[in-house]
Amino acid sequence: MSAPNMDVLVSLAKRRGFIFQSSEIYGGTGSCWDYGPLGVELKQNIKRVWWRDFIQERPDMVGLDASILMHATVWKASGHVDNFTDPMVDCRECKRRFRADQVGDMAWLHFCPATKGNKFTIPAGGPCPHCGATRTLCPECGKGELTAPRQFNLMFKTFMGPVEEDAALTYLRPETAQGIFVNFDNVLQSMRLKLPFGIAQIGKAFRNEITPGNFIFRSREFEQMEIEYFVNPNDRMDGRPADEAIHDTWIEACRAWFVRYGLAADHMKFHEHETAELAHYSKRTVDILYKFPMGWSELMGIANRTDFDLKQHSKFSGKSLTYFDEERKEHIVPFVIEPSAGVDRALLAFLLDAYQEEEVRGEKRVLLRLHRELAPITIAVLPLLKKRPEIVSTAHELRTRLAKRWRTVYDDTAAIGRLYRRQDEVGTPYCVTVDVKTVGDREKGEAGDGKVTIRERDSMEQIRVPLADLDTIFGRLMGETAWSEVAAAYPRAEG
C-alpha cells in the first residue's frame, strides 16, 4: 500500500487527539507540535520498545539522561559553533528567509511584464511561459532581491543566570550526543565497562531550522533516540577494522528494528553519504530513508564519528578521555558508531505505514494497523447496552483490571459498530465487548455465561472467551503468540 497523503494524516492526527499545532489558539507556530492524549502514548511506546530492545536487553549497553543546557564550550569543542550552519538568503523586500540550497526548488511568484504585470505562480525551476524569464527575485513576494548567501547557525542561543551577557551565553542542545561524549569517563569508571559498549540517550533537541515543515518531519523542537557505540579501532572483526564491521551491524539492526515494528521493507532504503555530504566529524554515514509523501527522506542516520568528539573534548577540557586497552597495554581513544533516530520522524513513518482505508460491507473503514506494542490503546472495553447497569459495571471492573497491565479504555458513547470503527481509526488492536449474555437477565431468571467477545482489529474476527481467561489471552497476544493461534482455542462469535 502506498502512504496516504500528508493532509489526510494531519487531519486524522488532529481529529483523534494524536498531534496538535503548538500554540494553535494564537495562530500556531508551524515549527513546533504538541502531542495529544493518543500521540503521547504512541510516542512513549516507540521510546519504550527502542529502550528495551537496544539498551535493556543487551549486555553491552547502558543509558544516560544528560541535561539540555550544557557548558558553552561543549559546542565550541564539538564544532557546532563553527560548523552547524546552513547557507541562507534574505529577501530585501518582504524579509523572508530561505535556505540558499533550496530556493531554486520552490515554485515562484512572478509579475510578468509580457502580460501587463499579471501575477503567476511558476513551477520550481521553470521559466515563465509568457515572457520566458527565470527566477531572480524572492520566490514568495516576487518583488524583492535576495541577499548573497550567509551562514546561519542553527543553534538556539540562551543565557544562563540572571544577566544577559556574553559570559552567560549558552545553547539549547542541537543533538543529544554531546551529553554522552562529555560523560564518557564518568560512565566508563562508574560502570567498569569493557569495549565495545554503547551509551544511549533519549531526549529533546532544538534546531532553529530555516525551513521547518512537512508536519512533524522537520520541526524546531524534536526528540532524538541516540546511541554512541564505542569501539577499539585497533581491534579487527571479520578481517576488517572493528569500527567498520560494527558500523555495518548497526545499519542492519536499525533497518530490522523499523521492519519489526511495522514499516514495509520496500518503504525504506539506504543512502550512502558522498564525501562532500559528510558531517565534519564523520568518516562514513549511511541514512535510512523512508518513502514519505513528499519523497524519499531521512528517517535516521548511522554515522562513524571516529574519535573526533572524544579528542575534541579532551583538547578543550584538558581531561583525558581514553580507554586502557589491557591486551595491548596502551591508552586509546575509542571510535564511535552513532545510530541516531528522530522520535518524531519514526512516529510519522509508523503512522503513515499503518494508515489504511478499505471497504467493509459497502462502508469505508479507516484503520491504523499499528504494531500491538506501539498502539496508543491496547484494549477498548465496550458495553453493548449502556442502559443495563450490570453490563456497565462489569465493563468498568474489567477495564480497571486490564488497565493494571495494558493501556485500556472504556467507551459507551455510541452504538457498538461505531465504537469499533473509532478504535480501528486509532489503531486499537483489541476490543472486548460485554453483552447481555455475559451478565444474564435477573428479571427473566437467566444467569450470565461470564464470557465476553474479543474482536481483533485487522481481521475483524471475534471470539467468545471466559472473563477469567482474559489476562492469559492478552499476555499471550502481547507476547509472541499470533492472534490465529489464540483464536483457534475459542468459539467464533458473530459480528
Of 217-225, 367-375, 393-401, 407-415, the segment contacting ligand GAP by CB under 6 A is 217-225
* Of 227 and 321, CB closest to ligand GAP: 227
Binders of ligand GAP in range 359-418 (CB under 6 A): none
How many beta carbons lie within 10 A of that of residue 405, not counting itself? 13
Answer for which of 55, 227, 300, 380 binds ligand GAP (CB under 6 A) is 300
How many beta carbons lie within 10 A of that of residue 158, not counting itself? 14
Q: Please tell me whether residue 85 binds ligand GAP under the rule CB under 6 A.
A: no
Question: Pattern 163-202, binding to ligand GAP, x per CB under 6 A?
Answer: ------------x-x-------------------------
Q: Is 381 helix (H, G, I), strand (E, B) or coil?
A: strand
Answer for which of 235, 244, 344, 411 binds ligand GAP (CB under 6 A) is 344
Q: Name the residue among 263, 324, 268 with its Cα closest to residue 46.
A: 263
Would you call 401 exposed, middle or buried from its count of C-beta atoms within 10 A (0-12, 13-18, 19+)?
Answer: middle
Please report how close the Cβ of residue 101 comes to ligand GAP at its closest, in angstroms. 16
How many angstroms separate the Cα of 167 from the Cα of each of 22, 158, 477? Answer: 32, 11, 57
Please report how close the Cβ of residue 39 comes to ligand GAP at its closest, in angstroms. 15
Would you call 287 exposed, middle or buried from its count of C-beta atoms within 10 A (0-12, 13-18, 19+)?
Answer: buried
Phi (first) and psi of residue 255, to 5 degrees: -60, -45
Of 48-56, 137-145, 294-302, 306-314, the segment contacting ligand GAP by CB under 6 A is 294-302
Q: Please tell me whether residue 222 binds ligand GAP under the rule CB under 6 A.
A: yes
Question: Tell me, what amino acid is at 1?
Answer: M
Answer for which of 153, 170, 219, 314 binds ligand GAP (CB under 6 A) is 219
Residues in the chain: 495
Alpha-carbon distance of 55 to 443, in angstroms, equals: 57
Alpha-helix runs per DSSP H in 286-388: 308-317, 343-354
Please report how close the Cβ of residue 99 comes to ligand GAP at its closest, in angstroms. 12
Q: How far out from the chain centre does Cα 408 lie?
A: 23
Please report how close the Cβ of residue 298 comes to ligand GAP at its closest, in angstroms. 5
Alpha-carbon distance of 51 to 44, in angstroms, equals: 10
Of 163-171, 220-228, 318-326, 465-473, the segment contacting ligand GAP by CB under 6 A is 220-228
* Of 202 and 300, CB closest to ligand GAP: 300
* Of 86 and 226, CB closest to ligand GAP: 226
Q: Could you tell me the end-to-end alpha-carbon distance of the chain, in angstroms, rounded to an integer?
A: 27
Alpha-carbon distance of 279 to 307, in angstroms, equals: 14
* Of 224 and 433, CB closest to ligand GAP: 224
Question: Pattern 313-342, binding to ligand GAP, x per CB under 6 A?
Answer: -------------------------x-xxx
Question: Pattern 137-156, binding to ligand GAP, x per CB under 6 A?
Answer: --------------------
CB 349 within 8 A of CB 299: yes
Answer for which of 45, 153, 201, 224 binds ligand GAP (CB under 6 A) is 224
- CA-based radius of gyration for the chain: 27
Answer for which of 298, 390, 449, 469 binds ligand GAP (CB under 6 A) is 298
How many beta carbons lie within 10 A of that of residue 262, not counting itself? 18
Q: Please tell me whether residue 86 binds ligand GAP under the rule CB under 6 A.
A: no
Q: Is 360 helix (H, G, I), strand (E, B) or coil?
A: strand
* Of 224 and 322, CB closest to ligand GAP: 224
38 CB-near residues (< 8 Å, 6+ apart): 16, 17, 18, 376, 377, 426
- Residue nearest ligand GAP, CB atom distance: 342
Answer for which of 4, 39, 198, 301 binds ligand GAP (CB under 6 A) is 301
Q: Is 154 helix (H, G, I), strand (E, B) or coil?
A: coil
Q: Which residues bind ligand GAP (CB under 6 A)?
A: 175, 177, 207, 209, 218-219, 222, 224, 226, 298, 300-301, 338, 340-342, 344-345
